[in-house]
Amino acid sequence: MRHLSHSARDQLERCAKSFFLARIARAPKRPAVWLAGGSAVHEATEHYDLMSLVGTADRAFNVGQVWEVYFNAQLEEARAKEPNEHKWASSSAEPIAVWNQIGPQFVQSYIDWRERCPWEIWTTPDGEPAIELDVSGFLPGCPVEIKAYVDRIFWDPVMKRYPIVDLKTGKRPPSNADQFGTYSALTKVKFDLTADLGVPFMNRKGTVGKPFELAEYTPEYVGAAYGEAWEQVQRGDWTANGFPGGCFICDVQSSCALQNGPLAHLYDPDFPGYRPL
C-alpha cells in the first residue's frame, strides 16, 4: 500500500482481515446494489451543483434522465465484475427496481435542500468549486499520503463558517466525526481553510443530520491516528473481528477463512489449504 484513506482506516479498525483481503490480497469484491445506488446519487447531485454554478440547472437538469444515466453506468460496472446479479449483496427490500424509484427521490431531496439553504459552495484559491474536492495530502505523524475527496465544502454567510457536507444515502447517520475530521485536517493543510463543522446530508430524510464540531481534529491529532493505523499495516496484524452484522455487508467475505469462503484458499493465508494465485 502507498496511501491510506478514511474508508481504509475505518475498515482496518472494524475488521483487519477484511482490510487485508480487500486492500492487500486484492480479493474480488462482491458488488452491492446499495453501493451502485449511492454512487449514482453522488454523481447526479455533483452534476446538479456544477450546472447550478453556471446557471443552467433550472432549465436543463432532468432528475429522471440524469439518474438513469448514472445508475445504469454503475450497474454495468458492477455486472462487469460479477455478471450473476444473484451473487450481489442486495437488500430484499431495496433491489434494483426499488432503487430506480428511490434514487431520483434522493437526488431531488438534495436539490430541494440546496434551493432553500443559504449556504454557498466554497471556491478554492485556484478557482475550483468545492464539489468532490480532492484534499489528499500528508499530515504530521503519518509517513504516507492520506487520500480524501470531500463531497462539498460550503460557506455559511449567516454563521460565517465553512461546513463540510457529506451525502448519506443509508438509513443511519454517522456514529462519529472521524470522516469529517479527516477532511477538516487535510483541508487546513492544503488550503489553510478552517472548516470545523461536519454536516451529514441525509438523502432519505431530505435534510441535514446532527452536525459535528471539528475543532479537536487538528492536523497533528488526525495525523497521529493515521500514523498508528499505518504502523498496524506494517506489522501485518490482520485479526478477523467478525463483528455483529459486519460480515453480512463485507464485500470480500467469499475470500475469508473465518466465513469458510469458497475463495479463501486463494486469498486468505489463515485458510488451511491456502494456495495463493
pTM of the model: 0.94
Residues 6+ apart with CB under 8 A from 65: none
Tens digit of pLDDT for each residue in 114-155? 999 999 999 999 999 999 999 999 999 999 999 999 999 999
Residue 153: φ, ψ to 5°:
-125, 125
Which H/E stretch holds residue 212? strand 212-213
Q: Is the pLDDT of residue 244 over 60?
A: no
H helices present in the chain, as ranges: 6-14, 16-19, 33-53, 57-60, 63-81, 96-116, 178-191, 219-235, 246-249, 264-267
Question: Would you state the pLDDT for residue 247?
Answer: 81
Q: Is the pLDDT of residue 246 over 70?
A: no
